């Protein structure tokens, strides 16, 4: 299994922070700045997990998760919604779309990697 995570996030600062924290803790990280680019990358390589922003400019993360879950090879890959959508029902909406877990933004640099590791251990 790959030790590479795919981060699908349009915000450059959020991508940088996630990549920095994850690489500092031994993960390899590939990035996608849009939903379309993220889907293409997810289809072309094997990832340990996909970290997915919900609010993307070209397609929302719910649609991305639903699309990725239609691909047999991606059904078991954890998809972790990392989003500022934190209203009642947003977590359930992400899980219903096919996300494995949900992390609220802004991410906490002190606990983010631990949350990711805990999710990966359950998968």
Q: Does position 34 have pLDDT exceeding 70, yes or no?
A: yes
Instruction: Note whether 74 and 18 are within 8 A (CB).
Output: no
Q: What percent of the chain has pLDDT over 90?
A: 91
What pLDDT is stored for residue 70 in this prediction? Answer: 97
When the pLDDT of each residue in the chain is averaged and rounded to a whole number, the result is 95
What pLDDT is stored for residue 84 in this prediction? Answer: 87
Instruction: Note whether 57 and 36 are within 8 A (CB).
Output: no
- The residues, any chain, with a CB within 8 Å of residue 24's CB and separated by 6 or more, are 113
Q: Does position 111 have pLDDT exceeding 70, yes or no?
A: yes
CATH architecture of 4-122: 3-Layer(aba) Sandwich (3.40)
């Amino acid at each position: 299994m790959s030790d590479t995570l795919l981060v699908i996030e349009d915000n450059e600062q959020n991508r940088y922070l996630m990549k920095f924290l994850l690489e500092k803790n031994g993960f390899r990280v590939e990035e996608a700045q849009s939903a379309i680019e993220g889907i293409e990358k997810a289809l072309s390589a094997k990832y340990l997990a996909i970290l997915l922003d919900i609010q993307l400019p070209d397609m929302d993360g719910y649609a991305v998760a639903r699309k990725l879950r239609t691909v047999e090879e991606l059904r078991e890959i954890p998809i972790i919604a990392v989003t500022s959508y934190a209203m009642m029902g947003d977590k359930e909406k992400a899980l219903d779309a096919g996300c494995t877990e949900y992390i609220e933004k802004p991410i906490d640099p002190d606990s983010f990697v631990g949350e990711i590791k805990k999710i990966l251990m359950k998968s």
